[in-house]
Structure 1
């Protein structure tokens, strides 16, 4: 594993966060070393092997999704004190503001002493009814373009040693 590697860890229930992670991967590949893993498949060795991260997940009930929380629960202590200063960014798919999930990830990143290197990107799907919330999601191309740009920017920054 390269310290210049970008690791994208994602979880999705309805496809929106997965689409965001895949777009970030699409933007990053070809520009540098990048891996994309579903949260249930990522472990502390994956985190330790990367120089930077994009965390992508939905907000469910004003918190990050359970599978993403489980990823952080499994990895938090094994990497604590070993990833300080590494770059990170977030992609949140939400039915409203995404603030709860974002706040949880920010707290974890603060504990790991990660360095935010890109603005928070929250895709608001405006899903408010049970049927809308559970329905498969398709994101606007403008959001996916921002995700691709984020992936490319992070992997490029890692490649040139900017962070």
Structure 2
């Protein structure tokens, strides 16, 4: 079994729906050999990253930046994972009330430093909440899990 780690900050009902949609996609019935582990950023640590085969990050846009919870996760895991997780397949999604640019820039900067390998373009759910955000998140989870299951990432 391969392990897909989903670390998502979900402080509201809508962001929880997005996280659950990513999980639903990743746990699709056609995915056979992928274990999905879901944790909020404040409960995830270096050991979770070291034990996974791919990761999906989820965050809100907070004042043009990632959530403090996701930043805290990076602060606690960066150095313990730096030399051990190079090439780790990952992607992320952002629930952005504005444009998400600063949030994406920050995540890209940190993950570039970690030398992680982005396997899907970031999903930025911009503006007022729309139901299609959930479908987009479900597809993101399915894409990463299916790629991991097939040995493509």
TM-score by length of structure 2 reads: 0.91
- Range with greater deviation from structure 2 (69-78 or 7-16): 7-16
Partner of 2:9: 11
- Residues 45-85 of structure 1 show CA distances to partners (whole Å, capped at 9, x for unaligned) of 00111111110000111111111100110011110111111
Shift of 1:22: 1.4
Distance, in Å, in 1 between the alignment partners of 2:137 and 2:18 is: 6
Alignment of 1:86-101 (within 5 A): 86-101=88-103
8 Å CA contact 1:5–1:34 kept in 2: the answer is: yes
8 Å CA contact 2:92–2:122 kept in 1: the answer is: yes
Aligned length: 149
Match of 1:46 among 45, 48, 64: 48
Q: Secondary structure at the match of 1:72?
A: helix
Partner of 1:125: 127
Unpaired runs of 5+ residues, structure 1, are 127-138
Match of 1:72 among 66, 74, 78: 74
Aligned: 1:157 with 2:147: yes
Superposition misfits of 4+ residues, deviation over 2 angstroms: 12-19
Distance, in Å, in 2 between the alignment partners of 1:102 and 1:74 is: 20
Shift of 1:17: 3.2
Distance, in Å, in 1 between the alignment partners of 2:19 and 2:144 is: 13
Partner of 1:20: 18
Distance, in Å, in 1 between the alignment partners of 2:66 and 2:44 is: 16
- Residues 1-47 of structure 1 show CA distances to partners (whole Å, capped at 9, x for unaligned) of x5x21100011333443322211101111422111101111010001
Unpaired runs of 5+ residues, structure 2, are none
Shift of 1:111: 1.0
